[in-house]
Structure 1
Amino acid sequence: MTAPTVLSFLVDGAMTGQFSGRDHGAGVSVILVDTDRPGAGPRLHQHPYDETFVMHGGEAEFTVAGERLTARAGQVVVVPPWTPHKFVNTGTDRLVMTNIHANDEVVTEWLE
């Protein structure tokens, strides 16, 4: 049995960063988002696996397979494999979310 891995993602008071599971023997990868910048978010892209977004604070507009939806703190958005998606920070509060990639490394195909 290997020892658990503990990493810190606290940067200037914000939880932000990327965890590649492959580097630590885990089957998932995680991106932590913490921003107060309106409009912040990635361009349209897709992954060959599920991505799960856990909303902790704020609001984001997601575009998933051409459909738009708004997610807020306390909600979870699941995007299936090979589904084009993006999100932008649309709220007046700080956007805080955990993006869970169902793969031991983040694999992204950029579409825009």
Structure 2
Amino acid sequence: METLISRADGREDGEDWTENYEQLPGGAGVSIILESTTKEGVGPRLHQHPYAETFVIRRGWATFTVGAGDGARELVGRAGQVLVVPAETPHRFRTGRDGYEAVHIHANERFVTEWLE
């Protein structure tokens, strides 16, 4: 059976929407974070997951740090791009001056996060 999930705050738009969804109905097998902000310089500290995380960037941009130490790379992800961070790979991001809107797809039905800083 299909399931339609609405915003918890009752709004009917995508602005300033930050919501986490775990154990989605219908056996989706993924969890998602919906992220929408007009603020610059926000994002999570360095962390990793035992599964891949996919970022579908819808608006604005963010600077992603992928990896740690000498192997770390910085990538600018922009609207219309998709970034896949492999399992067990440290990563973080900071939103750009134009804000950021994306869907973060965790390849697991629950969030499992190891914070590294």
TM above 0.5, one fold?
Answer: yes
Query: Counterpart in 1 of 2:2?
Result: 4
Between the aligned partners of 1:48 and 1:79, the Cα distance in structure 2 is: 11
Partner of 1:107: 112
Consecutive unaligned residues of structure 2, counting only runs of 5 or more, are none
Aligned to 1:17: 19
Q: How far has the Cα of 1:5 moved from its partner?
A: 1.7
Counterpart of 1:19, as a letter, is Y
Q: Note the residue ranges of structure 1 that are not aligned, 5 or more in a row.
A: none
State whether residues 63 and 76 of structure 2, in contact with CA within 8 Å, keep that contact through their aligned partners in structure 1.
Answer: yes
Secondary structure of 2:40's aligned partner: coil
- Secondary structure of 2:98 counterpart: coil
Conserved? CA contact 1:9–1:16, under 8 Å: no
- Which residue number corresponds to residue 102 of structure 2? 97
Percent of aligned pairs with the same amino acid: 50
2:53 aligned with 1:55 = no
Runs of 4+ in 1 over 2 A off after TM superposition: 9-16
Contact 2:57/2:102, CA 8 A, preserved across alignment: yes
